Amino acid sequence: MFRKVSQFKFGDRAIKKIKFTLLLLTIILAGANQADSADFGSNTDIITNPWLGLTNVGDGYTLAGYGDFEGAIRTFSLIGNERVLGVKCLILRIYGHGNNPVTEYYDVRIAQDTTANIRFLKATGVDGDGNNVDFDVNSPDEALIYLPATPIVGQRFDHLPGAYSEIIAVNQTVPKMSTGAGPYYDCMLRRWGGETGDTDDKWNCRYVGVVKEDWADEVGEVRGWWRVPDQIPDMNLNGEYWFGSLSADANSWVPWGKIGTVIINGNNWYQEWEDYDGHHSFSGTFTTSVQSDGSININHAWGSYNVAWNGSIMINADTAPDAENRLGFDIIARKATNIDVNDVIGNYSFFAHWSDWYERDASVGWGTVEFLADGNGVATWVYQDGREEIKTGDWTLDDVNGIMHIMDFRDFFLCEEGIIFSFTSEPGIKGDFGYHFFVKESNEPITPDDIAGTYIVRFLETSVFGQPFTCGKGTAVIRPDGTLEWDAYYSYGEHDVGEMTYALGPGNKISFPGSAHEEEGIISPDKSFIFAPELQVPTEPQWWNWIGGIFLVRTTCNIADLNVDRRVNFADYATFGNQWLAAEPGLSANFNRDSRVDWLDLKTFAENWLWQAIWLH
C-alpha cells in the first residue's frame, strides 16, 4: 500500500483535496463500487471485519520476504488508539517494505463503519527515501475504504492519491508456503495499483489477515512476502475433549445449547455435537496464532475461533455475535482418563446457569456438592434471589467413558484438573437450557504467590430479568499483594476497568471482600484456572445487574518472556538490555508499543521478573 506516495505533497491540503476529488470522480465515472461516503457509529475502534486479522492493540503478525526481499521482514500490528476528526481509530502500523536503506513504515488510522468496512482517515510515516508521509481526509465522510466487509469481484477502492485497490478474486485457497505457514482458506485477492503502473497482489484470508503479497514493480522482478507462522511454544492440543455451549439469539434472546466431543490430532480437528436440531459433525485442518492477551486463535477454513487456553481447558466467548447471530460461550475441556471412584469422591464447588426457552427468564445457583463413597450425594446451593435449596440422591460412574449420572439429572462429563460439567442440548422439563460446572475442592492451602500472574477473562451473563445476554472477554492481573485488576469488554459495548482485593482459603477457595457482590470463587487444583460466580443482585434490580459465570484462565505466555521459554529471567534481561534506549518500530522489548525501549518498558519487565508458568513444568 503506501510505497509510492512520496511523490505527492501531502502537506498541501489544496492539492490533496483536488487529487482526492479527481480520484473519486474517476471511480464514479468508471462505474466502480464503494465510492459512497462513510457512515460511522460509536464503536468505530471495535473491529469485527474478518479480513484484517487483528482486533486489539498489541495484535500483530509477520511476513518474510522472498526473491529480492529475502532476509527482510514486513509486519502488520495495532500499536495504539487515536481520535481523528472525532472518530475513534486504531493505529495500524505497516512496517518494512523491502531492503531499503531507510526503515520504511506507515501508521494508518483505521476505523470500522456501520456496515463493517474498515476505512482509514489518516496516514503518517516514513517512505523508503526517508521522506515524511502525512495524509488525512478533510471530513469523516471522506474516509477511504481499506478493507471491505463483503468483498465482491470487481470492486475498486481509492486509497492515497494515485493509488487504488481492486478485488480480483474471492474464495481463494493459499497453499502451504516455504515458511511453513498455511494452507489458508476463504481468502480474497486484492490488487494494489499506482500511477506508475506498478501492481501488488495481496491475499487476505478471513480472520487471519494478510498471508501473501506478490509485488511486480518492474518486469522480471521476483519479490514478495509470505506469512510467517505464529508459533506457540510447547503447544500441544492433541487429545480428546468434552464440548459444551450455551448461547442466545442476539435479537430474540432465544437460548440454545450444545453438547459433544472434540478430537484433535496434529492440525486435524474433528467435532461432533447434539443440539435441538439433531446431530452434527465437523472436520478439517487448522492453524494456531497467539493473540496479544495470551489467548490463541484456532484458524479453521470457516474462520478463526478464539480461546483462552491453559493446557487443559479452552473457553470461547466474544464481544460480538457469532456466524449464527448468537451470543454465548463454549467450554472445551480435556477428558479425564484412567478414572475410578476415588477420583470422584469428595467435595466440589458448583455453579448452574439456566435460561428459559419459553419465558426468556434466567436463574443461577452457586453451592457445594459432596459425592460420598457409598454412592450417595448431598448438594446445597443458593439462588440469585437468596433462596436456598438442598438435594440428596445417588450417583453412578461410567469409568470407561468418563461420565457420571448425578441425582436423576442428565449426564455429567469428567475432565482433567478436577472439573466436571454438563450442558443441555434441548429444553429441560421446565424449558431450561443451561449448564452445570463443578470444580473439586482441596484442603491444600494456596498462597498469593501461587496464583499471581496474568489471566484471560471470558464470561457469559444474563440480565437478572433473563434478557439481554452479554458475553465478553478481557484480562485480569492477580498480584501477590492481594489485589486483582481487570480490563474487560462486554458485547453490549461497555468497557470495564477496575481493581478489587481478594482473600484465599479455606483450601482452594477465593473470595473478594468489599466488592459489590462478595461471591466466593474456586481455584482449580493445578492453580491455572479460577471460576467466580456473579449472582447477588440489589433489592431493586435493573436490567444491567448481571448474573452468570466468570472464567479466569491463566495465560501460558508472558509479555516479558522474550525468548519464550515460559520463564522471565536473565536470558530475557540480556535481550532487553540489547534493545535498551533503541528507538525504532518492531522491538520485542517495546511492551507499550511506542517505538522506544525506555523506563516504561523497564517497569513492565520488572513487574514480570522471575515469572514462570509453574503449572506447566
pLDDT at res. 159:
66
pLDDT one-digit tens code per residue, 319-362 = 788 878 888 999 999 999 888 999 999 999 999 998 888 777 78
Residue type at position 543: W
Residues 433 and 514 in one domain: yes
CA within 13 Å, CB half, 548: 26
Q: How far is the C-alpha of 113 from the C-alpha of 289, rounded, in Å?
A: 27
| 248-249-253 Cα angle (round to 5) | 70
All 3 cell numbers of residue 404? 457420571
In a domain, 234, yes or no: no
Residues 6+ apart with CB under 8 A from 614: 450, 527
Other Cβ atoms within 10 Å of 323 Cβ, number: 7
Residues 342 and 453 in one domain: yes
Per-block average pLDDT, block size 10, for the chain (617 residues)? 30 30 31 62 90 85 85 86 95 82 84 94 87 90 92 85 86 85 86 79 91 78 80 67 93 91 86 94 80 78 86 88 87 92 94 84 90 94 89 92 85 93 82 89 91 89 79 88 90 86 94 73 92 80 82 79 75 85 76 77 84 55
Which of 551, 549, 568 has the alpha carbon at shortest distance from 614?
Answer: 568
DSSP-assigned states of every residue in 291-357: -TTS-EEEEETTEEEEEEESSSEEEEE-SS--TTSEEEEEEEEEBP-S--HHHH-EEEEEEEEEEET
In a domain, 488, yes or no: yes
Residues 272 and 344 in one domain: yes
Other Cβ atoms within 10 Å of 604 Cβ, number: 15
Kind and range of the H or E run holding 413: strand 411-415
CA distances from 323 to 250, 462, 583 (A): 11, 20, 42
Asked whether the bond before 183 is cis by omega within 30 degrees of 0, the reply is yes
Residues 221 and 290 in one domain: no
In a domain, 97, yes or no: yes
Residue type at position 224: G
Q: Residue 42: beta bridge partners? A: none
DSSP-assigned states of every residue in 25-37: HHHHHHT-S--SP
Residues 299 and 177 in one domain: no
Residues 223 and 243 in one domain: no
How many structural domains does the chain have?
3
> Of the residues 227, 256, 271, which one is the last residue of a structural domain?
227
pLDDT at res. 287:
79
Which of 428, 209, 237, 450 has the alpha carbon at shortest distance from 333?
Answer: 237
SS3 state at 582: coil
In a domain, 289, yes or no: yes
Residues 387 and 251 in one domain: yes
Residues 268 and 354 in one domain: yes
User: Can you tell me which residue has the cell 522506544?
Assistant: 596
In a domain, 32, yes or no: no
In a domain, 443, yes or no: yes
User: Can you tell me which residue has the cell 442476539?
Assistant: 250
In a domain, 243, yes or no: yes
In a domain, 87, yes or no: yes
> Of the residues 508, 530, 554, which one is the last residue of a structural domain?
554
Give the range of the structural domain holding residue 585, as residue numbers without chain letter: 570-611
Residues 149 and 265 in one domain: no
pLDDT at res. 471:
82
Residues 6+ apart with CB under 8 A from 301: 185, 186, 284, 285
Residues 221 and 105 in one domain: yes
pLDDT at res. 420:
96
Tell whether pTM > 0.85: no
The total number of residues written for the chain in this structure? 617
Residues 221 and 269 in one domain: no
Residues 353 and 482 in one domain: yes
